[in-house]
Amino acid sequence: MISYADRFQFTDSGDMFTKRLITAGLTALLIGTLGACGGSDSSGSASSVSGTDTSTAPTARQTPDTVTGLRDSVRHLTRQTTRATRPHTVTQCGSATKRVRHTSSSGTGTKKKTRTWYTTEQYRKCAKVRSGTETYTRVVRKERWCVSLDDVGGDTGRDDVWYQVTRAAYDDARLADEHARVTFTPTGTGC
């Protein structure tokens, strides 16, 4: 494909600047034309050629994280714990020694001398060691608040779907009437 700039005949190296200038101008014109044809406003909706905005005002709708349906039932699962054992560790400290390197310099230029010597220094060394076992409370099941919905998202085929919710959303659903429309943001699925 021959560009518009290639149709012009240039004879000397001084005209190469003109050729590049024309090519840049045609490229800018092409980009501007394409931008005008496929323009869109900041919300992503296309606008008409006359420049009037054809987008409508944003409507309030639920976010992808929220769930809407008819209240079916609620369930509160209490926290369950059990006693378990694990290794018990203690911190034991003792004295240890390490060799430390020291250097000092004196003089400048060719008369500079560096002296190196080593000393043995003591320090306190600590480590965790196992010392028997200890008992602790292990959580078997965390406390959960759950709500079951029918007609989830308006789909009459999606019934008895359980969601884990916050305590506040659970209280709102518990106080709502049977088959009342409720909307909440679940913290998990299933119960």
* Domain end marker among 97, 114, 139: 139
pLDDT tens track for 60-103: 344 458 888 888 889 999 999 999 999 999 999 999 999 999 99
Q: Could you list the residue range(s) of the whole structural domain that residue 162 is in?
A: 67-78+143-189
* Same-domain check for residues 183 and 90: no
Residue 23 scores a pLDDT above 50: yes
% residues pLDDT > 70 (the chain): 72
pLDDT category, 35, cuts 50, 70, 90?
A: low
Candidate from 12-26, 68-82, 165-179 with smallest mean pLDDT: 12-26
Q: In the structure encoding, which two tokens stand for residue 126, read together? A: 């600590």
* Same-domain check for residues 112 and 98: yes
> What average pLDDT does the chain have?
78
* Same-domain check for residues 165 and 92: no
* Same-domain check for residues 74 and 147: yes
Across the chain, how many H-helices and E-strands are there?
2, 7
- For the chain, the domain total comes to 2
pTM for the model: 0.44
* Residue 32 placed within a domain: no
* Same-domain check for residues 72 and 147: yes
Q: Which residues contact 149 (CB under 8 A, 6 or more apart)?
A: 67, 69, 70, 71, 72, 161, 163, 182
Residue 56 scores a pLDDT above 60: no
pLDDT category, 53, cuts 50, 70, 90?
A: very low
* Same-domain check for residues 121 and 153: no
* Same-domain check for residues 182 and 93: no
pLDDT for position 18: 67
pLDDT for position 34: 64
